[in-house]
Amino acid sequence: MAVQAEALVSAQWLANMVKRNLVGPRLRILDASWHLPVTGRDAKKEFAQSHIPGASFFDIDECTDRDSPLDHSLPSEEFFSEYVGNLGIGSDSHVVVYDASDLGAFSSTRVWWMFRLFGHLNVSWSPGTAARSQPESAEFTATMNRSWVRAFEDVAENITAQKFQLVDVRSYGRFRGLEPEPREDIPPGHIPGSKCMPFDMFLGEDGKMLPTEKLKKFFEESQVDLGKPLCGSCGSGVTVCHMVLAAHLCGVPGVPVYVGSWFEWFSKAPPEHKLSEAKN
């Protein structure tokens, strides 16, 4: 039976593990920082300058399907197994992910979700905390839970079938079509029938996930029913995992993700299925 870790661990818990020299094959820490190009930040360079002792860098731009034209498409089971094995992660490792976003979290929930998607439930997320180490490679076997992923066709069918609630975690402005997307060739807007729950609103001012009761209230105020099927979306399948983690903490594990998200949707959907309040 697969070991399932607590979804959240505190920065203090992680600091204690580091202080006690417990980072190793049984506990692997991953810096999963990634920044939008418009920020001008280079996550790899920042990692080289400062990171939690013993942490390795998880590059979501590298751990992807390199043959796909879409950003952050999912890698194969074989590629994921090799990639994380080379980070010293074995099938019995407890993995803790964090990132160095000014918000407290931006991209690390995506990596938390990827491990769970590929069958590794022994993974936790921690709020960002600010001698590079190279761990020995380990044996890791990934098995994707394909029920946790939705394709373009699933989302297109859902416009009329309404089998699930689609939650978009981009900002209200991008969702409504009134603020620009970070990719200049992709106008803003949203998928018909989707609800907006901006990812940063799942976090408190301290960068930590809101308490469960406040998360439930946010879902309720956003008219998203946790008792009915959900699916998440964002720009390219990264920040959507804030919602997946929040739902998990509210007792709804395994919320599927539309990985292609708005970037794929705008590229493939007919004009009438790309809604925007922007004036032409």
At 168, list the tokens: 């978009």
Six token digits for residue 90: 């074995």
Indicate if 234 belongs to the active site. yes
The strand pair at 149-150 and 165-168 is best described as unpaired
Annotated active-site residue in 196, 231, 234, 241: 234
DSSP 105-117: -SSHHHHHHHHHH
The whole-angstrom separation of Cα 68 and Cα 76 is 12
Q: Which residue has the tokens 């919320």?
A: 255
From first CA to last CA, the distance across the chain in angstroms is 56
- Of 53, 124, 65, 54, which is closest to residue 88 (Cα–Cα)? 54
What are the catalytic residues?
234
